[in-house]
Chain A
């Protein structure tokens, strides 16, 4: 049992750079070039850990301790969501709103850290990041509420425990709310239609602009936290909307099967993100609200559908 707990703790930070690597690899393949190996993010993080740091003189304690807290929030969320096993029914913190608002805590610190050094890019990065996350929160919460309404509880572990979604008559609301959730996850993790992760053009950056000032181990933590966040959204998308293969009991075979199911689903979703990123251009900043409002409407429609069927 303790083993599972430890596994739950370390799984997110271990796997997340791999997902980023896979997405980069798929994008490279679409640009018909070889691209870095999928383990490159591990090497980047490891190298950055061993580099010196230059911290700006205007930075206050917010700038210095933000990376640690942001990384910690991603770890905490990683613990609170069902990855491979859902029998632990972690009643105390495994709640949907805890996950949403802990991520909001991470964004809060990220935005403040961006503003702290007083550079023009950091300021604008935080303003855009906070705008996008404010607009995305509506769709985010409502899409998760849809599935919690179907199962009847907001505890994430029991949601992923009930294998009832896709097969029964709740198929349509789950799919619609997954679409809403997917848009929101692209927005929150700063993927393609909202923000270009690999851009050098400061004007269009949202996520990158905030970590322009970081270097050395703090930059490594920030990159790692962003990767964790990406993995968290992928894992939530996979395990809450399509909870196949989640280990129901604590025996080894179920756990291994759960893990493989998790890897498989993560790979598919990373491929989906890669395809989306290669086939779509980054849209203008003021086109984003329309996209986020559609995600909100989708989730609202999904909730409407849920009730009618079970009436």
Chain B
């Protein structure tokens, strides 16, 4: 049976499944309930099949098959599934499974507002696009799949179109992704001019033909192009706008998995195709990674819109993945392949972990917004008493994302720390200082992420409700809880069995061309313990987890029974120096992060505006109402994108003069152009 699943037929059947899902949901678009049921179940079956396929492809062998079409010699629908793409198919299908299960309950509240069929159609196209992106092995076909993914996700972002800024966010998303795609297209063209083909395998073999300067240009183009999709710092402005706009189970999929396709292509191009790699590439990726990590978490702290906060955290985690990838690049250029494999393993492990806990957080945020109909955290508070299960899942997600031990976030960050530490032990001083700064950035990011999620969880779930909507919020439906529950258990399982997963990532790496000449197989995990090479350190997840459970139980038993026999506990009011406590007095999310914002004022540029309204304007002594407006200036908007925008519009106004309106003039332009081109084409 396994060789049936893992054959070409298996993968095509996977795409076929999503195709039926898409068309089916269009057919049933009239009846909402049927469309929802059809779309969710076909997505679940598709993702299950995908998981089996990925596991099979992982074990059996990498396969590549193509259907070259007669239309044009360059474009051939060729797939090449090696261990790396199998891993990404696994991640995509895994998250799709849980998002679709969650979707069954979540889509109910869209019922007679928007057409469910359209949602299903684009949802399936989006997943099929992603699957094709990670398996395409021909440049043009890759671009088509990339475009399909972006367009489908655009329609999903603007799905909730009554809200104006959703549409605006969708537009910004479309423009930014296509700017990124433009960079990618130019990169592929450059590769084509020098290697003569779009096929990844042939590019890989003829990589030596590309002169060094051109290779650097291709690197920069690819970094910018895929960085825009992954959301690294200077090109990230679409991410906090677009992800919150989409329906929650889609934004979970987008920020859990779609931005990873950028990472996949970076690995594919830098580590697989354009070998050997100069040193400064790795350093560049490291710097970009640490900047994105640090700034991502700082901006997350300033947010009080819960989904924007999670979107900024995706940027932070992408930064961490890039740290792993960057150190892998640095070590390959230094020729130290075992450490490079460690770096790559750390990056991939964090990709898997981030996909799980980020989608868990988005799903639980989605059901919170579903009940309270607002995304503003200042309006939440005390939800743990109304939605205990969702609170528990959000709690597990925030513990995993701030890398606290029993959960999976810690172990991937442990691996990244080990790689950076090995980097610090490396030779020349400049490289060492880069690694020291990267470790400092990673450490600070860990701390700030913890601060941010204490704020997010505390402001949303703890203390007393701060707005009336919270009082009639009910627990999310069964399917939503099952979806979130599955992801929460996955977070724990990935954490506890990180040892076994470690060896998995090592043999993904060995297949890439950068590591073909592997002197000896690097063991980064034996049995259940993760081991850093050269005996640098080791941690075993199951023992740690067992220790946790043991100690917590002994403490509870000791305290509860041995020591404290006849003490009774009363329920009293919160004591606050005797004042009568109102919900307004408890700390809000802006208040919580205010001290950090003031500390990092240089970067975040907080601004405060006071508006005071007096009883009688002549005598300015008795203010009637005082409005304080706290905001942080978005420096990208004002320093990078605004001047760019005005430059382009200025130029285009000057060119407007050629639009004279008379047809004859236009035809004369055509004539002149024809003559000139023929003339020049000598």
A197 interface hit (Cβ, 8 Å): no
Question: Given A101-B410, A102-B405: A69 and B570 within 8 A (CB)?
Answer: no
B595 to A, closest residue via Cβ: A131
Range of interface residues on A (Cβ < 8 Å): 35 or more
A130 interface hit (Cβ, 8 Å): yes
A107 interface hit (Cβ, 8 Å): yes
- Interface residue stretch chosen among A23-31, A36-44, A47-55, A240-248: A47-55
Q: Which of A120, A122, A148, A304 contacts B421 (CB 8 A)?
A: A148
Question: Given A149-B424, A217-B564, A303-B424: A115 and B450 within 8 A (CB)?
Answer: no
Question: Given A58-B463, A202-B577: A307 and B425 within 8 A (CB)?
Answer: yes
A98 to B, closest residue via Cβ: B539
Report how far A307 CA is from B421 CA in the complex, Å: 12
- B447 in contact with A286 (CB, 8 Å): no
- A51 in contact with B567 (CB, 8 Å): yes
- A155 in contact with B583 (CB, 8 Å): no
Report how far A62 CA is from B382 CA in the complex, Å: 12
Report A205-247 CB contacts with B as 1/0, cut-off 8 Å: 0000000110011000100000000000000000000000000
Question: Which residues of A are found within 8 Å of B447, using beta-carbon distances?
Answer: 104, 133-138
Q: Which of B384, B391, B424, B586 contacts A120 (CB 8 A)?
A: B586
Closest-CB distance, B585 to chain A (whole angstroms): 5
Report how far A38 CA is from B451 CA in the complex, Å: 35
A199 interface hit (Cβ, 8 Å): no
B404 to A, closest residue via Cβ: A105
- A216 in contact with B574 (CB, 8 Å): no
- A55 in contact with B543 (CB, 8 Å): no
- A101 in contact with B564 (CB, 8 Å): no
Report how far A227 CA is from B596 CA in the complex, Å: 27
Closest-CB distance, A47 to chain B (whole angstroms): 12
Question: Which residues of B are found within 8 Å of A140, using beta-carbon distances?
Answer: 443
- A141 in contact with B403 (CB, 8 Å): no
- B571 in contact with A57 (CB, 8 Å): yes
- A153 in contact with B536 (CB, 8 Å): yes
B426 to A, closest residue via Cβ: A307
Report how far A48 CA is from B44 CA in the complex, Å: 54
- B574 in contact with A58 (CB, 8 Å): yes
- B581 in contact with A134 (CB, 8 Å): no
- B572 in contact with A304 (CB, 8 Å): no
Report how far A108 CA is from B432 CA in the complex, Å: 32
- Interface residue stretch chosen among B208-216, B235-243, B329-337, B545-553: B545-553
B630 interface hit (Cβ, 8 Å): no
Question: Which residues of A are found within 8 Å of B417, using beta-carbon distances?
Answer: 97, 141
Report how far A75 CA is from B553 CA in the complex, Å: 12
Closest-CB distance, B597 to chain A (whole angstroms): 10
Question: Which residues of A are found within 8 Å of B576, using beta-carbon distances?
Answer: 119-121
Majority DSSP secondary structure for residues of A touching B: helix
A9 to B, closest residue via Cβ: B551
B406 to A, closest residue via Cβ: A105
- A53 in contact with B544 (CB, 8 Å): no
Q: Which of A97, A121, A137, A303 contacts B444 (CB 8 A)?
A: A137
- A92 in contact with B559 (CB, 8 Å): no
- B462 in contact with A55 (CB, 8 Å): no
- A127 in contact with B587 (CB, 8 Å): yes
Question: Which residues of B are found within 8 Å of A91, using beta-carbon distances?
Answer: 529, 538, 540
Question: Given A71-B555, A119-B586: A216 and B403 within 8 A (CB)?
Answer: no
Question: Which residues of B are found within 8 Å of A130, using beta-carbon distances?
Answer: 450-451, 454-455
- A118 in contact with B454 (CB, 8 Å): no
Question: Which residues of B are found within 8 Å of A101, using beta-carbon distances?
Answer: 403-405, 410, 413, 446
B186 interface hit (Cβ, 8 Å): no
Q: Which of A71, A76, A149, A216 contacts B548 (CB 8 A)?
A: A76
Question: Which residues of A are found within 8 Å of B164, using beta-carbon distances?
Answer: none
Report B452-466 CB contacts with A as 1/0, cut-off 8 Å: 001101100111100
Q: Which of B424, B455, B569, B596 contacts A54 (CB 8 A)?
A: B569
Question: Given A123-B586, A127-B592, A307-B425: A112 and B440 within 8 A (CB)?
Answer: no
Closest-CB distance, A188 to chain B (whole angstroms): 11
Report how far A130 CA is from B458 CA in the complex, Å: 12
Report how far A212 CA is from B444 CA in the complex, Å: 29
Question: Which residues of A are found within 8 Å of B563, using beta-carbon distances?
Answer: 49-50, 217
Report how far A79 CA is from B559 CA in the complex, Å: 19
Question: Which residues of A are found within 8 Å of B23, using beta-carbon distances?
Answer: none
Question: Which residues of A are found within 8 Å of B40, using beta-carbon distances?
Answer: none
Question: Which residues of A are found within 8 Å of B382, using beta-carbon distances?
Answer: 58, 118
Question: Which residues of B are found within 8 Å of A92, using beta-carbon distances?
Answer: 529, 538-540, 543-544
A289 interface hit (Cβ, 8 Å): yes
A60 interface hit (Cβ, 8 Å): yes
A20 interface hit (Cβ, 8 Å): no
- B587 in contact with A50 (CB, 8 Å): no
- A145 in contact with B424 (CB, 8 Å): yes
Question: Given A53-B567, A93-B540, A138-B440: A120 and B587 within 8 A (CB)?
Answer: yes
Report how far A217 CA is from B592 CA in the complex, Å: 29
Closest-CB distance, A59 to chain B (whole angstroms): 8
Q: Which of B432, B461, B544, B571 contacts A93 (CB 8 A)?
A: B544
A300 interface hit (Cβ, 8 Å): yes
Question: Given A97-B414, A137-B444: A217 and B567 within 8 A (CB)?
Answer: yes
Question: Which residues of B are found within 8 Å of A202, using beta-carbon distances?
Answer: 577
Question: Which residues of A are found within 8 Å of B444, using beta-carbon distances?
Answer: 134-135, 137-138
Report B362-380 CB contacts with A as 1/0, cut-off 8 Å: 0000000000000000000
B37 interface hit (Cβ, 8 Å): no
Report how far A153 CA is from B536 CA in the complex, Å: 4
Among B457, B461, B576, which residue has the most Cβ atoms of chain A within 10 A?
B576
- A304 in contact with B451 (CB, 8 Å): no
Please report which residues of chain B, range 402-450, place their CB below 8 angstroms from some CB of chain A when the two chains form the complex. 402-405, 410, 413-414, 417-418, 421, 424-425, 427, 429, 432-433, 436, 439-440, 443-444, 446-448, 450
- B385 in contact with A60 (CB, 8 Å): yes
Question: Which residues of B are found within 8 Å of A50, using beta-carbon distances?
Answer: 563-564, 567
- A56 in contact with B572 (CB, 8 Å): yes
A117 interface hit (Cβ, 8 Å): yes
Report B198-214 CB contacts with A as 1/0, cut-off 8 Å: 00000000000000000
Question: Which residues of B are found within 8 Å of A137, using beta-carbon distances?
Answer: 443-444, 446-447
- A142 in contact with B551 (CB, 8 Å): no
- A149 in contact with B384 (CB, 8 Å): no
A81 interface hit (Cβ, 8 Å): no
Question: Which residues of A are found within 8 Å of B410, using beta-carbon distances?
Answer: 97, 101
- A142 in contact with B414 (CB, 8 Å): no
Report how far A15 CA is from B458 CA in the complex, Å: 34
B678 interface hit (Cβ, 8 Å): no
A72 interface hit (Cβ, 8 Å): yes
Closest-CB distance, A297 to chain B (whole angstroms): 10
B534 interface hit (Cβ, 8 Å): yes
A95 interface hit (Cβ, 8 Å): yes
Q: Which 9 A-B pairs have the closest CB atoms?
A: A123-B587, A134-B447, A118-B463, A154-B537, A92-B540, A137-B447, A115-B458, A56-B574, A92-B543
Given contact pairs A72-B552, A138-B444, A307-B429, enumerate 4 new A-B contacts (beta carbons under 8 Å): A72-B551, A101-B404, A104-B403, A131-B599
A-B contact pairs, 16 of them (CB 8 A): A52-B570, A55-B571, A57-B571, A58-B574, A61-B384, A72-B548, A76-B551, A97-B414, A120-B576, A134-B444, A138-B444, A152-B425, A202-B577, A217-B563, A303-B436, A307-B424
